[in-house]
Amino acid sequence: MQLCRNIDFGLTWLCTAPSITTYRVNLLQTTTECYKDYVENLLKGRYKNSPKIYTLNDLPEVLCIGSVQTPETLKPNVKEQREIIVDGCCGAAVLRGAHIYAVGVLAMESGTKLHDIVNVYADLTGKCKKGTNIRFDSDKKVYLGQGRVLMQRYQLFVASGAKTGIAVEMLNTVSGVPSIGDLSSAKALLQNLPSIVCVRVLNPQKNEIILDMCAAPGNKTTHIAELMQDKGLIIALDKTVNRIALIEEKIKKYKFNSINVYAYDATKSFDGKLNNETANDIKPPFKAETFDRILLDAPCSGLGNRPILVVKTTAKMLDSYPRIQRKLINNAVALLKPGGCLVYSTCSINTSENEEIVAWALAQHSDLELEEAVPILGSKALPCEGLTERQRGMMQRFSPDTKKFDTVGFFIAKFVKKPI
């Protein structure tokens, strides 16, 4: 089933939602088995045939939830049920198991009542006007599934004040992903599997000094703190103040003491004029060789975040990302201690943002060498000029080729800075 019709680069798998949902359990707060019991009981009360729930030997903090049905089993009842329209972004979240919040509703037909079962569609054209009260007629609206109405039209489009709360509780989706919303709490966090693998590849240790260069919204930052048992120092940077607030919110929720957050542009994080006499505090900008480990989850095109229902990225935007990624790597190499490691990752499928960046980094920095990015749960990197077959096997990509884990498109590489 092809969900998005705006993608023209032949990678239709990007239009479909991953078949597994993953939570990262905070092992400082609970156990994976305890959280598994909680999720199993929740799903048993919601589904007659509960999806498979399982753990992973290589990642003891991960809980995986399988699908509940295939797309062919669900069809819209166009005569008896009214329609709800959401935008492409909200539609993608719905296919990943989210409910529909008030802000996400574009259209609701007149006469729709509280607790009605409705057909939910995503508008891929961007032409559905907010507040539309008639059936939206378009050959580019995509059926997502069925939901139960929890808020009426006047609450969504007439009443004053901010529109908050769940407007439509999803009962099922064509993706087969369980419609349970986000169960994130201090005990566990909804997070894509490759993002969790990324921090395991970094392998942070207690009492180290670690830099998370582009940290917002803080999911990987908190994972680092958990693996370090909140002992050591983690510096989290992000240049946007509003996004920094997301990290601070997580720090407060998890009660971490090891994380310091700064609103700072990571492309300017290294200052070559600083030395041991002029830089006593560890705050940006930093002197050379400050950090034991650095995580660079780089700004990227995001063309791996499934499902993609609408593509808004332009060729000019695609060209801009490698320039930023190279600047960030230059800063990271300068800030890394000899013998330290740098993990580079993106949620993009483009070789220009992944393999080509790695090849460039190795050519540009003679003190860098690749190290196997273990644990390897993905497939090897794509062919690229400047990379050997052995080097391709040291990196990992997540895609449909990764048959064991149907997740988002992602890339991970691990560098080590050679000792002096």
Q: Tokens at residue 326, please? A: 């190279």
Report whether 93 belongs to an annotated binding site.
no
Q: Compute the average pLDDT of residues 71-75.
A: 63
Q: Which long-range contacts (CB under 8 A, 24 or more apart) does 393-401 make?
A: 394/370, 395/355, 395/358, 395/370, 396/197, 397/349, 397/354, 398/193, 398/194, 398/304, 399/13, 399/349, 400/13
Domain ranges of the chain: 13-70, 83-173, 192-417
> Is the pLDDT assigned to residue 4 strictly greater than 60?
no
Report whether 139 belongs to an annotated binding site.
no
Q: Tokens at residue 154, please? A: 């006047």
333/74: higher pLDDT: 333
> Is the pLDDT assigned to residue 401 strictly greater than 70?
no
CATH code reported for the domain at 192-417: 3.40.50.150
Identify the H or E element spanning 37: helix 32-44
Q: What is the pLDDT of residues 344-360, one digit of tens each?
A: 999 999 999 999 999 99
CATH superfamily of 83-173: PUA domain (2.30.130.10)
User: Would you state the pLDDT for residue 310?
Assistant: 85
Report whether 404 belongs to an annotated binding site.
no
Amino acid at 232: G
User: Would you state the pLDDT for residue 7?
Assistant: 38
Q: What is the pLDDT of residues 268-320, one digit of tens each?
A: 999 999 987 666 689 999 999 999 999 999 999 999 999 999 888 888 888 99
User: Would you state the pLDDT for residue 57?
Assistant: 93
Report whether 380 belongs to an annotated binding site.
no
Tell me if the pTM is above 0.75: yes
Distance CA 75, CA 174 (A): 8
Clarify whether 347 is annotated catalytic. yes
Distance CA 55, CA 183 (A): 17
Please tell me which residue in 4, 64, 347, 384 is annotated as part of the active site.
Answer: 347
Q: What is the pLDDT of residues 236-271, one digit of tens each?
A: 999 999 999 999 999 998 899 999 999 999 999 999
